Structure 1
Amino acid sequence: MPKDLKELIQKLREIFQDDHINVDEVRELMESYRSNPEDWKKYAMFDKQGYTRNLVDEVKGKFNLIVLCWGKGHGSPIHDHSKSDCFMKMLQGELKETQFDWPKEEGREMTEKSHSTLKNNSVAYIHNKIGLHRVENVSHTECAVSLHLYSHPAQTCKVFDQCTGHIAEHELTFWSIDGKRTPKKTTASKENN
């Protein structure tokens, strides 16, 4: 069991030296890390406009590790994960994950498959073969923080309109890198709307 976030990163880097990744091994490692705000508080940067993606560590072409900060009532759109495996660990608070089937055709409401509540230290996993999902902080009194590991990180993702199944491509950006705010863009980040 990693004693802190730094050791978790070290163990992830060891696992990702191989080209083939064992999903169960990565999930078990993510589950074994116990959230400690002292480990991740430097990455926990919030924005009133929407959730933030804060890069903690990356190995080009292998993985990126991101702290996502969810203000009260913030949520993601329904989205895919390109060719990435996505592991999501709760560090603080709770998030609601709703999974959807891929739309069969545009113009129809998307079908909800399941929903679950992710609590502190729990880990969820999703890949495009499983389906699509939306993640939300449904609390209007508490913020939430989650740690996401994307194996084969993507530069873009597809987002979906729940009512029509309409698909749009969105660029994935970081609100901060290694605890330092990235330069603000002149237009609002589409992924946080």
Structure 2
Amino acid sequence: MKSSENIQELIQLLSESSKTHYNTILNSFNFDTIDFKDFESWSSEKYTRNCIFKDHQFELILLCWNKGQETKIHNHSSEDCWVYLLKGEMEEVFYSLDNSNCLKEEFSQTIVPHQLSFMNDNLGFHKLRNSFEGQSLSLHVYAKPIEQCDFYCETSEQFIEKQLRYDTFKELISTSKETF
């Protein structure tokens, strides 16, 4: 049976670990036991960023994507990012700056359900797009939380710093196990 409470187990595991173990935790965790419906919000205009948990160590965000919705090309402000695809299909496109400081596409990959992707500024820039015919759901872990990042403006052909925000913040009330 799926339960939104099972996400507390994931939060506990991440909280008790350093980010060097996040890859292993996310690859081995059984996400099929979690019902994310309480955290979902959908928009016909853009993908939504729905915060489930945030502290000084990491933030856990559920992104809800309708067909064709995508991010702008962006960095991660020197933080690490893991993307776990729960449902649908995503295209991830990677970019770098050439010797003239011009943005160039390096390669792309398709992310399918139960697949994990990793990104940080050492790898360059990226964008994500829902390439599925329907809705996609992705779970993002940022260590440490990202308050702002640089987005590529196609009009000015420059990166612009932008403050990030959540569309919803439905943080779980209790993330620690009670003892009696």
TM-score (norm 2): 0.85
Q: How does 1:2-151 map to 2 (within 5 A)?
A: 4-16=6-18, 21-22=19-20, 25-36=21-32, 38-60=34-56, 62-102=57-97, 104-105=99-100, 108=102, 110-139=103-132, 141-151=133-143
Residues 88, 148 of structure 1: 8 Å contact kept = yes
Q: How many residues align?
A: 168
- How far apart are 1:38 and its partner, in Å? 4.4
Given candidates 152, 158, 179, the residue that maps to 2:150 is 158
Q: Which residue of 1 aligns with 2:175?
A: none
Partners of 2:13 and 2:87 in 1: how far apart?
Answer: 22
CA RMSD of aligned residues (A): 2.2
Partners of 1:39 and 1:65 in 2: how far apart?
Answer: 15
Runs of 4+ in 1 over 6 A off after TM superposition: none
Flag structure 1 segments of 5+ consecutive residues without an equivalent. 181-193
Judging changes above 3 Å, is the alpha-carbon distance between structure 1 residues 163 and 105 closer, same or farther for their aligned structure 2 residues? Answer: farther
* SS of match in other structure, 1:72: coil
Partners of 1:34 and 1:93 in 2: how far apart?
Answer: 17
Partners of 2:40 and 2:12 in 1: how far apart?
Answer: 20
- How far apart are 1:153 and its partner, in Å? 1.4
- How far apart are 1:35 and its partner, in Å? 2.8
Residues 55, 145 of structure 2: 8 Å contact kept = no
TM-score (norm 1): 0.80
- How far apart are 1:36 and its partner, in Å? 2.8
The range that moved more, 47-56 or 7-16, is 7-16
* SS of match in other structure, 2:64: strand
Q: Which residue of 2 aligns with 1:183?
A: none
1:1-23 CA-partner distances (Å, limit 9, x unpaired): xx94221111001114xxxx31x
- How far apart are 1:41 and its partner, in Å? 1.5
Partners of 2:114 and 2:142 in 1: how far apart?
Answer: 18
Partners of 1:77 and 1:132 in 2: how far apart?
Answer: 10
* SS of match in other structure, 2:12: helix
Judging changes above 3 Å, is the alpha-carbon distance between structure 1 residues 37 and 74 closer, same or farther for their aligned structure 2 residues? Answer: farther
- How far apart are 1:169 and its partner, in Å? 1.4
Q: Which residue of 1 aligns with 2:162?
A: 170
Judging changes above 3 Å, is the alpha-carbon distance between structure 1 residues 7 and 82 closer, same or farther for their aligned structure 2 residues? Answer: same
Judging changes above 3 Å, is the alpha-carbon distance between structure 1 residues 104 and 78 closer, same or farther for their aligned structure 2 residues? Answer: farther
Residues 6, 33 of structure 2: 8 Å contact kept = no
Judging changes above 3 Å, is the alpha-carbon distance between structure 1 residues 114 and 39 closer, same or farther for their aligned structure 2 residues? Answer: same
Flag structure 2 segments of 5+ consecutive residues without an equivalent. 173-180
